[in-house]
Homo-oligomer: A and B are copies of this chain.
Amino acid sequence: MKILEKPVPPGGTIGIIGGGQLGRMMVLAASRLGLKALIFSDVADVPAFQVTPLQLVAPYDDRATLSALANVCHAVTFEFENIPADTMDFLAALVPVRPGAKALATTQDRLTEKSFVASLGLRTAPFFEVSSLEQAREVFGKLNGEGILKTRRFGYDGKGQMRAISGDDAALAFQALKGAPCILEGFVDFAFEASVVAARGADGSFAAYDPPENVHEHHILRRSTVPGRLTPHQAEEAKAIASKIADALDYVGVLAVELFVGKDGALIVNEIAPRVHNTGHWTIEACACSQFEQHIRAVAGWPLGDPARHADAVMENIIGDEVRAWESLACSGALHLYGKKEAKPGRKMGHVTRLQPRNR
């Protein structure tokens, strides 16, 4: 197995599993630093294939391809957290994979993740394991009358989750989710949503971006605004939460922690994403070192970059048909389009970041 005692030198190759917009923007960041980037995707014709000649297409559990990936790359990372555990284990025995198996295992399962967060003394919504109809009804009674049933694994953008306002509701939701192992989370009546995007280097160093306020529509991120309504104290607290989580996971790379900001001002951890994150896209224009460059630096064992923010920023996603307005969007701010062919409803086609001189 390759051991990374030294940083990956310029000209070295970083492997990225997954070829969507996150992989694509990682490739662009790696390219700027003089690193090569290889994209491994289980489907052909993905957005990231447009920006690098180094491409592998195969099922994610294809061992020959994984071996080839390990051979070509100095270090490997991923753009999404649902990498099969077997793939991760096989690959991690051959080449440094960052972040590592612990981060993936912890965040792939909502119950494991919530338990982990709670074990660090951080606040979460109340949560209960649900593995049967009876359990769904029973634990609902422990909530204050409203909850969300979520599959423990493989959910994103609101997929695999249903709201419940009664025990019968919760049981029906469990059936609708096909009896998959679930978690019932208490409903949090928050003031607004926020997130903190941060990085931990291979040397244990830590760097956090200013936390944005986020607005979701139909479970999809609409907008991130920095600074949002978080107080300076809350912003520091959010960064401390990210630091605590990153240290406990022995994390290397960029991670995001989604937060609810309670009406009492408390920060409640909603979700950990072990990867670059949509709520960090504004860092491309507003920070000295973007989340994508920061992630590549961490994965390559380079010193972390400066997360300082030189401007206020609003990042707005371009979703589905909204991309038709690309020409006027190109005049309204820094436009990023992801190279996706078809503008399906709910599909993230790009984003625009608008900067203002820094206010605070």
Set of chain B residues within 8 Å of A32, measured between Cβ atoms: 28, 335-337
Given B53, B297, B326, which contacts A52 in the complex, CB threshold below 8 Å? B53
CB distance from A145 to the nearest CB of B (A): 46
A7 and B53 contacting across the interface, CB-CB below 8 Å: no
Alpha-carbon distance between A10 and B27 when the two chains are bound, in angstroms: 19
Docked pose: A335 CA to B10 CA in angstroms: 11
A176 on the interface (CB 8 Å rule)? no
Cβ of B326 and Cβ of A10 under 8 Å apart?
yes
Considering the chains assembled together, what is the distance between the CA atoms of A339 and B14 in angstroms?
A: 14
Residues of B contacting A24 with CB < 8 Å?
31
Residue in B closest to A297 when the chains form the complex, CB atoms: B330
Contact B310 A355 (CB under 8 A): yes
What residue of chain B has the Cβ atom nearest to residue A49's Cβ?
A: B53
Counting every copy of the chain, the complex holds: 2
Contacts of A50 in B (CB 8 A): 31, 36, 52-53
Q: Mark A276-314, 1 if CB is under 8 A from B, else 0.
A: 000000000100110000000100001101000011000
Residues of A within 8 A of B (CB): 7, 9-11, 24, 27-28, 31-36, 49-53, 55, 285, 288-289, 297, 302-303, 305, 310-311, 323, 326-327, 330-331, 333-339, 341, 350, 355, 357
19 residue pairs from A and B, CB less than 8 Å apart: A7-B327, A9-B326, A10-B326, A10-B337, A10-B339, A33-B335, A33-B336, A34-B338, A51-B51, A51-B52, A52-B52, A52-B53, A285-B288, A288-B333, A302-B327, A303-B331, A310-B310, A310-B311, A310-B357
